[in-house]
Amino acid sequence: PIWSREQIRRIQKDIENVLCLNGRLDSEGLVLEDTATQLVKGRKDAYKQAEAIIERMKNKGRYTSAQLQRIIDQLQNSDRREAYAGVILFVLKQRQKRLLAQKK
């Protein structure tokens, strides 16, 4: 065999405990949250966060393509991006395109 049993055990441990590719497990190795569920939840939360940013801009009368570009630039140029920043950027860029089409 290519891999020894010990190597396979270490790889499995990395997959489960370090990388959490199979989701979060309890002390007995049973799945608490699977990876797919967490990904969907993370994306939905990021979408809601982007919508909240837009809502705050609207409430302050600052919902313009230029202001959206400023926030987009801040997110893109940040030294450390938060999880699912790509989703937030996608939503903000889509909204900015709409505003530019409306010349706002």
- Global model pTM greater than 0.85: no
Between the alpha carbon of residue 34 and those of residues 17, 31, 51, the distances in Å are 13, 6, 26
Per-residue pLDDT at 95: 95
Share of the chain above pLDDT 70, in %: 81
For residue 65, name the pLDDT band (cuts at 50, 70, 90). very high
* pLDDT, tens digit, 9 for 90 and up, residues 90-100: 999 999 999 99
Q: 54's torsion region: left (phi>0), alpha (psi -120 to 50) or beta?
A: alpha
Q: Are 89 and 72 in contact (CB under 8 A)?
A: yes
* pLDDT, tens digit, 9 for 90 and up, residues 11-42: 877 776 666 666 666 677 666 666 667 777 88
Strands, E assignment, 20-75:
24-25, 31-33
